[in-house]
Amino acid sequence: MDRFKETIKSQMFELGFLDTSTSYCTIPFYFYYKNEDNDSQFMPSALLKDSFFSALQEFPILAGRLHMKNGGIGASIRVGESDINMPEYCEINSNVHFDELEAENFSWDALPKEISQPGFVMRKGEDGIIKLATIKIARLDNNSGLVLLANIAHVVMDTSGVTTFLKRWAQLCRQQTHKTSDVDSVISRKLLWHDRKYLYDSLPEQGEPLDHVTGMINRTKSTISTYVL
């Protein structure tokens, strides 16, 4: 975590209308891991946390603060060197066994209560600040497995962005596990752009014609067409 704090640079990410239209939503993901080999060192806590903050160095936007403006029409995410909005990260021990979750087909109703209701709306952390990323880990009974909840604010990134972050976390975790020094095996730090202006600047001046279905939706009065237009 300390290394992550040292890498943070103050910056601001301006958001567009489509970002702010879903600013209150979150995207929760659950991942289930079974300790099939009864490994006493199964997914060590220190390794998971350290690799998470290593991945966060490449996604500093997740440690920013959301600022709404113009009556909610516009917004920005501000990241400050001395004002870091640290993502919520916690791990708990559960008396729920992995076999119980498996028997219930991994129903949310069978989850440990501490992580069973993530909600789909951004909420404040223990420090009273609205969090853009929340990670909760439940280590299951008798070291039978682990459940990981990643809940990311939609205003920061879409599902593709969330999976990119989670894959990067997994890559760095594997890299630290194998402690490889082989240059060909070392995962290089990725160059990622979080500023929306790079997307807008790349859009062509002339857009492609709408396909038939999309055109029909926009020409027919409905909740969807009203929202889009």
The domains located in the chain, with CATH, are 2-198 (3.30.559.10)
| pLDDT for 183 | 41
pTM: 0.80
What are the 10-residue block averages of pLDDT along the chain, 229 residues in total? 86 80 84 96 96 93 88 82 93 97 94 85 88 96 97 90 92 82 46 61 74 75 58
The three-point CA angle 65-60-177 to 5° equals 135
| pLDDT for 72 | 63
| pLDDT for 114 | 87
| pLDDT for 63 | 95
| Virtual torsion, Cα 227, 72, 74, 213, nearest 10 deg | -10
85: tokens are 């909005």
Are 143 and 96 in contact by the 8 Å Cβ rule? The answer is no
197: tokens are 């202006």
